[in-house]
A and B are shown apart, each in its own frame.
Chain A
Amino acid sequence: MNDSQIRGAEIVIKSLVAENARYIFGYPGGAIMPVYDALYDYMDHIQHILTRHEQGAIHAAQGYARVSGHVGVCMATSGPGATNLITGMADALIDSTPLVCITGQVASHLLGTDAFQETDVVGISMPATKWNIQVRKVEEIAPAIAKGFHIARSGRPGPVLIDITKDAQTAMGEFNYVPCLNIRSYRPYPKVEESIIAKAAKLINEANRPYVLFGQGVVLGKAEKALQDFLDKSGIPAACTLLGTGAISEDHPNYVGKLGMHGNYGPNLLTNQCDVLIAVGMRFDDRVTGDVKRYAKQAKVIHLELDPAEIDKNVKCEVAVLGDCRISLEKLTEKVDRKSHEEWIAAFRKLEAEEKRVVVGNDLSPTKVGLTMGEVIRHINEFKADDAILVTDVGQHQMVAWRYFEYKTTRTQVTSGGLGTMGFALPAALGAQLHDYNRQVICVVGDGGIQMTFQELGTIMQTKAPVKVVLLNNNFLGMVRQWQQLFFDKRYSFTELDNPDFIKIADAYNFKVQKVDVRGDLRQAVAEMFVHEGPYFLEVVVEKEDNVFPMIASGSSVEEVRLS
């Protein structure tokens, strides 16, 4: 052994530092202890956030990654530590969030012996990761981490797992970090083909009622400006998916609203009236398409997409524009005619007015006694900054907050989209806040979801992250209850909750707390929340049995979107 050799555990930390990782969200345990020991000497170079549960660690890493655009890093021990990361990996895979997860593993001579806290995490995580690897030799640690970061952040981003046996962590080896820039079997950026661009431009120029749908690909591909330029020139109306929200400001004149099961009336309905559908960085999730057999059948579809496996997966397209959507959009903008589609956009505005009249008015300015989720969001809009980040959990509050929050800029929307992971919001909000303590981070969460990861109030307390938690409490698992009401004859099977005194709990975690159950107190309470500098917990007791509309019932067509 010569002097230049260091332990594998230290190589792990030095590799993370070499990748400019700012945070490790993690939780220690037996098989990862050498790495935690090495971390003790690197506290000035990289910050470790001790969450209260590994699921909290990975969701926090996701929140950080989604807002910052950097790779989120989380760490856990073997066995239960590793399996507790799985939900977050599945979430990050379906929502294309770049993560590097590092888990400790039992010593290599114990592999396969059912050793204490041994689990086959590489096997278990296989369908939940973009790539994973088990490292059993010290010299393989740095190359695996380098490859992991490259895979996590390039192309369509996703989660990567690196499982490191304890003996590899304790063995001595050289540290010589070589970033990974190329893997011969992996081509993350298909080249945009000019002939395809020309074909797409021709279709667009000949269209009478073209319609743009944009998703998170625009954000991931840093194509926000390219999309805006394309819309400015082409005059085409544009609607967003849940995760694409904020990619362009909702104030943009071509912006017509949101797609999907609880999106806006016009954008859903008119999907079946456009003649050319231009999908940008979105994957035609079933929550967007409804019954796919009755989805945009009249339209010629142009699909701008980075991932070849998304082409024709759910919706067949006429022109597949493979490649980085920023480049494709820039090239298309050059080739499309300058137009305005006033009449066509007016069709959206007309339906928007109808939605306002039937739904939005009652949601935002209700006249009934009970408080609505919508009016809480209205007051948040009143006081929030333009770059405030909204983090939501899953359920009714998620859909209402999404519908009414005024998104002005990119990367302000953090939610669990594809997987629909309850419990996501609280730790994700922490991660989002850690990216920038000076940005407003508002965590809107329901009474069901918050109790799935409630313990992370402790992490927020310890980090003093000034997260504003807004609990919309209807003492129900509201979205499931809504379905039970509409589709299961009001048989409310296990959806009503006897809840604890949330205020006492948040108070115990040193949050400044406030509870509102009458309309008269709401505005003032929201105002106070935004003035307070530290973590804040606002509980609003809302109407027990409100429903979210518009709605496309499961199995229905987008044109069957209902307002009530």
Chain B
Amino acid sequence: MNKRYTISVFTENFIGILSRITLIFTRRGINIDGFTASESREEGIYRITIVVHTTEEQIIQLSKQIEKIIDVIKAFYYLDDEMVFQEIALYKIPIDNIDSGLERVIRQHNARIISAEKDFVVVEMTGHKEETQELLEVLKDFNVLEFVRSGRVAVAKPMETIDKYL
């Protein structure tokens, strides 16, 4: 049965590591739903967060194949309820369409306006995909010019840190 999994990969900062990781998915015809890379708590160690829809059997194999990459320190996989995660979304709305309704929408969704230009404002919201998607539906009345959503950032609930694998 397909479920949504998040793979958390800890790697050395090595050119080409992202390609090597994504090749594992491409080769097996698995679509990557989200991909985020950043530094981790440890200096020099990078953390990549990948979201995929797949089976448990497949996610185990994917994690092992990722760990097999020389410069990968460790790969963990989690179901949604095993992580705390967040995504960020930006919505660009033309100034002409704005009325008092926008304030209500922003309050209701815990969103905020982070920039106001002559012709448009930019609304920002953080949350789960379902939540930022819901705001997008609502904001369609205001004629959203641009929409973008980040990949997932996530921390695991189990109290394990990467130190023990170094």
Q: What is A's interface to B at a CB cutoff of 8 Å?
A: 122-123, 126-127, 130-134, 151, 183-186, 307-309, 311-313
Cβ contact within 8 Å between A309 and B12: no
Q: Residue on B with the closest CB to A127?
A: B23
User: Which B residues are in CB contact (< 8 Å) with A309?
Assistant: 61, 64-65, 67-68
Stretch at the interface among B13-21, B29-37, B118-126: B13-21
Among B19, B23, B67, B71, contact of A308 (Cβ-Cβ < 8 Å): B67
Cβ contact within 8 Å between A134 and B166: no
- How many A-B contacts are there with CB distance less than 8 Å? 43
Complexed CA–CA distance, A307 and B68 (Å): 8
Asked, given contacts A126-B16, A126-B20, A309-B61, whether A183 binds B70 with beta carbons under 8 Å apart, the answer is yes
Task: Determine the main DSSP class of A at the interface with B.
Answer: mixed
Within 8 Å of chain A (Cβ to Cβ): is B11? yes
Asked, given contacts A126-B16, A132-B16, A308-B64, whether A185 binds B71 with beta carbons under 8 Å apart, the answer is yes
Q: Residue on A with the closest CB to B66?
A: A309
7 residue pairs A–B, Cβ–Cβ below 8 Å: A122-B16, A123-B16, A151-B70, A184-B73, A185-B70, A308-B68, A309-B68
Interface size on B, residues (CB 8 A): 19
Cβ contact within 8 Å between A184 and B20: no
Cβ contact within 8 Å between A131 and B70: yes
Asked, given contacts A132-B16, A308-B64, A309-B64, whether A126 binds B70 with beta carbons under 8 Å apart, the answer is no
- Digit string of B102-131 for contact with A (CB within 8 Å is 1, else 0)? 000000000000000000000000000000
Q: Given A126-B19, A185-B71, A185-B73, 16 other A-B contacts at CB below 8 A?
A: A122-B16, A123-B16, A126-B20, A126-B23, A127-B27, A132-B16, A134-B15, A184-B12, A185-B70, A307-B68, A308-B67, A309-B61, A309-B64, A309-B67, A312-B60, A313-B61
Smallest Cβ distance from A163 to chain B, in angstroms?
11
Complexed CA–CA distance, A3 and B27 (Å): 50
User: Which A residues are in CB contact (< 8 Å) with B68?
Assistant: 307-309
User: Which B residues are in CB contact (< 8 Å) with A185?
Assistant: 11-12, 70-73
Q: Which 6 residue pairs of A and B lie closest in terms of their CB atoms, listed nearest first?
A: A309-B64, A185-B73, A131-B70, A309-B68, A186-B70, A185-B71
Complexed CA–CA distance, A335 and B115 (Å): 71
Smallest Cβ distance from A15 to chain B, in angstroms?
19
User: Which B residues are in CB contact (< 8 Å) with A312?
Assistant: 60-61
Smallest Cβ distance from A52 to chain B, in angstroms?
32
Complexed CA–CA distance, A133 and B65 (Å): 19
Q: Residue on A with the closest CB to B19?
A: A126
Q: Residue on A with the closest CB to B27?
A: A127
Smallest Cβ distance from A305 to chain B, in angstroms?
12
- Digit string of B67-84 for contact with A (CB within 8 Å is 1, else 0)? 110111100000000000
Complexed CA–CA distance, A309 and B11 (Å): 18
- Digit string of B42-65 for contact with A (CB within 8 Å is 1, else 0)? 000000000000000000110011
Complexed CA–CA distance, A56 and B129 (Å): 53
User: Which A residues are in CB contact (< 8 Å) with B71?
Assistant: 131, 185-186
Complexed CA–CA distance, A130 and B71 (Å): 11
